[in-house]
Amino acid sequence: MAKKGLILTLFVLALFLFSCAAPESTTEDSTVVVEPTTTSDSGRITAPETTPTTTAPTQAMTKEVKELLEKHKTITSVNYNEDSGTYDAREVWIKGSLIKKTARLPRTYDNPAENYDTVYIDRSQQKAYGYCTSLDVAKCPAEYRGFAYELSYSEHNILTPFDIYKDVDYAEKTGTSTVDNRKSTIIQYTNKDGNKEKLFIDNYFGFILKQEIYDSNDEILEKHTFTQVAFDNLKDQDVNLPEGVEIQ
């Protein structure tokens, strides 16, 4: 009996000792991701560089220049001489989308009926017609006076002072002048080809009287004049083919 008691005592003591032993703790490995940094030449750690976004400031024209560039929009018709006194001189009439111009060069063809000294242009229809108005029968035989001939629109359509304005986004006033006895303001801008350009603009009507285009050496590359100008006095018959003319 004493032997059984001893065995029981030893068993209880063993359970007590096992329960008091601290279990071995375990931890899982973990990885910490660190954002990359850069080191400056001085050895200091700095944040990654960022490229700032900048917007170029929009240039604004002065009120004086802006108003001057708007004046031409009130013109209903105009008649002028382009490049007067030069080999390429011609007279031009404009009313709305209709243009009449004298031919730059005398036309001489084997067929006298195709001689013309005047070109009528209809921009709305993209059409051009040659017509002879001369009283010289050697150039315009009487039997052919009632005929006009369709020409290449792209070849005969012209650049007018009104078209030049479409290229002006920003301009500055650089001075004043007098062109063909008309007081004018000189503005300067960079055209679509990257060239400096000057326009001499009539102060009252806002019409371009002279155009100068410069090269990279600041030498005049091209010049045009628009003189002996008459405003707002054309009739429809001044820019249309004469009534009864047959188009060939």
Provide the residue ranges of all domains of the chain, joining segments of one domain with +.
Answer: 64-247
Distances in Å between the Cα of 49 and the Cα atoms of 33, 38, 52, 56, 92 are 20, 9, 9, 22, 62
Q: Is the pLDDT of residue 54 over 60?
A: no
Beta strands at 77-82 and 172-179: parallel, antiparallel or unpaired: unpaired
Structure pTM? 0.74
Q: What is the gyration radius of the CA atoms in the chain, in angstroms?
A: 43
How far, in whole angstroms, is CA 45 from its chain's centroid? 48
Question: Torsion angle of alpha carbons 71, 74, 77, 81, nearest 10°?
Answer: 0
CA 37, chain centre distance (Å): 46
The pLDDT, as a whole number, for residue 85 is 94
Alpha-helical runs (H) found in the chain: 2-20, 63-70, 153-156, 161-164
Kindly indicate the confidence band of residue 30, based on its pLDDT and cuts at 50, 70 and 90. Answer: very low
Q: Residue 41: which pLDDT band, with cuts at 50, 70 and 90?
A: very low
Lowest pLDDT segment from 81-90, 109-118, 216-225? 109-118
Looking at the domain 64-247, which fold is it?
A: outer membrane lipoprotein receptor (LolB), chain A (2.50.20)
Of the candidates 62, 231, 86, the one whose C-alpha atom is nearest the C-alpha of residue 161 is 231
Q: Look up residue 226 and give its two tokens.
A: 């628009």
